[in-house]
Structure 1
Amino acid sequence: MDDTKRWRFQVPGGLLSRKTLTIEEKIDFWLEKQQEWFYGYTTAEDGVKGVLWGKKIDLYVDIRPFGPPIDLLAQPSQPVRPKTKQQNPRRLQDPEKQAYVERVQAKLAELRAQFPPPVTREMEERCIAYFGNEKLIIPMAEVFKVWADGSLELADKCRKTAPVLGGMKDLFVDVKLPDELMRDDTKFCEGLCKLLQLAQTVEATAEQQQVEVGSDLAEMIRCLDRLTDRMIEGGERLWNAPRKMTPEEYDAYIDKSIDAEYSGKHLSERLKLLEELWEDPLVDMQERAEYMETAIKAVQSEGRKKAALPCPHKEAVQQHLSALAKRLDALEQEGESAWQRRAAQEMETTCRAWREDAELPALSLEEFAAGLRVSSLITKTITDETGAIHIRLEITFIDKRDSFAGHWITATVEDDLLKSVDLEG
């Protein structure tokens, strides 16, 4: 397990059928400036499960309970209290429980022995050295700075960033990083993915603003996209990733994981479910290790409470969760059919064009709307300078008729105002 701090919060009003929510620190590393920023709190990277309009969806929660992010690396260092070695870890009084813990710990050690070597700072530096600070890091910093400049119009941002991004295209052609660096769990790969996302945003925005950006930008995107795909594939090989689950297998897996971790079932039932999860060949190694750790902690902590560091922004986070719960209750009341129709109305012309290009039969607005299925919800809450909480929702729909060749529709709502409906992916 990593050392990310996590807290579980109660949501008395419920959050898409969830009465509790586990959040963790949101810390972002900026490759180009070697800075580490603390933004607030978020659900785990793969989100949690919720139920909206009777449909099981992926829910992502991002809470920003304070103002500008904090640069952790610029903070004064805190004195570290030396840890005293524990010669004999506390044994459980129940011999059966102690035997269970030791058995699972042995399986966990055996599994961890199969983990690839962890990412090191030296590996990160080798990645940067391969491309060069002048050719990659400095241009990256430049384009991110320009795109974040609120004084510039979108068209001007495109004109300034597109040539810099396009000029980087040769960097990503025929990249021959050593195998041990061709992995997706490095901060370097994370930085490249952000660069790709920015380049795609510039390309799409330039098209909307009718700004000519030339062909170099598109070529850079294609090359960088291939490189990041190779790094993801390298990471999957490194971790011996299993095949992807089918939708039915994934739903069953999520149901079982929720029952194992959050259902309140008797400990013996939860341990049985956890064992089924870590023995499942379709669950990746890291998740299997986490299920073993969960089982060990559940047995060790039964009947006693474990002291934990309090969340430093507990009251503010609770306020944000309460505000979010009310907003999501309102979204639930607005109803699926109303949102299907709103999304379909905004995308009707685009859908018609895509289906014509693919030589698919035309759909009426009603048919198009009925085929949209909500799949995920991204929420973000922020506090402004007056202390007011603002809520942003990104509601994602998948077209069951696949009118957009695998792309999805995202409706963005800020507070109560629909800002946009876009095709993504």
Structure 2
Amino acid sequence: MNIQDIRSHFPILHQEVNGKPLVYLDSAATSQKPVSVIETLEKYYKEYNSNVHRGVHTLGTKATDAYEGAREKVRRFINAKSTEEIIFTRGATTALNMVAHSYGLDNLREGDEIVITFMEHHANIIPWQQVAKKTGATLKYIPLQVDGTISLEDVRATVTSNTKIVSVMKVSNVLGVMNPIKEIAKIAHENGAIMVVDGAQAAPHMKIDVQDLDCDFLAFSGHKMCGPTGIGVLYGKKQHLEKMEPVETGGEMIDFVDLYESTWKELPWKFEAGTPIIAGAVGLGAAIDFLEQIGLENIEAHEHKLAAYAMDKLSQIEGMTIYGPKDPGLRAGVVTFNIEDVHPHDVATVLDAEGIAVRAGHHCAQPLMKWLKASATARASFYLYNTEEEIDKLVEGLIKTKEYFSDVF
């Protein structure tokens, strides 16, 4: 499937914004949705909208089959051993909070260590801050190299026999850095710690094999990988999930309820209290079908090519600072930058007038912004539907932005 064929599946891309053809370069925030996902959601609501696991009527059976079928698609997508290891959540943030507040609270004590990095998204910082305060554990940070990458020597120096949890993002949503999770997991396990992975920026863009990575937990969101909003996944090794207590309780996750005691369902349902995110899960299953049809390897290669092209073109603009590794082979399809003497919000505003959508701000990574000595940055993020021609339009828009503010000041 060539790029124009791929773009034809995304109706939102074929419109004008402010009188200009839309150039959508904000997929790290949320991706656009192909027709197949939109139609799958419509079909669920039109043809078999029903609750799952409860009714024995036809619609309930169809909904249950579709919901559990989506769980199997996720299992296959990340190569988990069993669907018992796949928990549907509201998103990666919810999944990471579940690990922190279920596994973390039960397994951490004063003197224990939680190890993360300066590049983490707030969703992989704040839950660990909260758990550290409640348990007396110490929160430690793996330092970054000058280009924002992680060295395994620093990992070994930071992770100790007191470390119980290491939690690191696979791909940075700011720097585009691809972290060596498999090697970090090995170091964590050698020291008796578990490995938690924030896969929100990785699962949409590259093949993830949880057994090969040997991570203990993996979190990711559907809306960044062509799926609906409000659906995400927590993968956890069965031996951990079986020992963990549910974070939410109520209907659906129970086995038996007495007046003073209750017991829980088996995995994975003990972690899915209440009416689950049925349409979201079914839509995520359709998104996985779409991504696998194109091939994650093809998507990753396409994004590497776009990132290299963008870095080459943007670096030719005078006064441009590009954050992260200079080698495009070390980064995913994210290019974060600033133009000298122009606030990134102004950059994004002028680009929007040209029909170009980029992100501006701290990107939910304020500790990293502090490390970069930047209050905010602009970010262009690419996905399977973006083209080099769109990057050319971005460059034209940035040159126009620079000229405009040069004239103003």
Please indicate the TM-score interval, normalised by the length of the shorter structure.
under 0.3
Task: Please identify which structure carries the higher helix content.
Answer: 1
Rg bigger for which structure?
Answer: 1
TM-score (norm 1): 0.24
TM-score (norm 2): 0.25
Which structure ranks higher in relative contact order (CA pairs < 8 Å, sequence separation ≥ 6)? 2
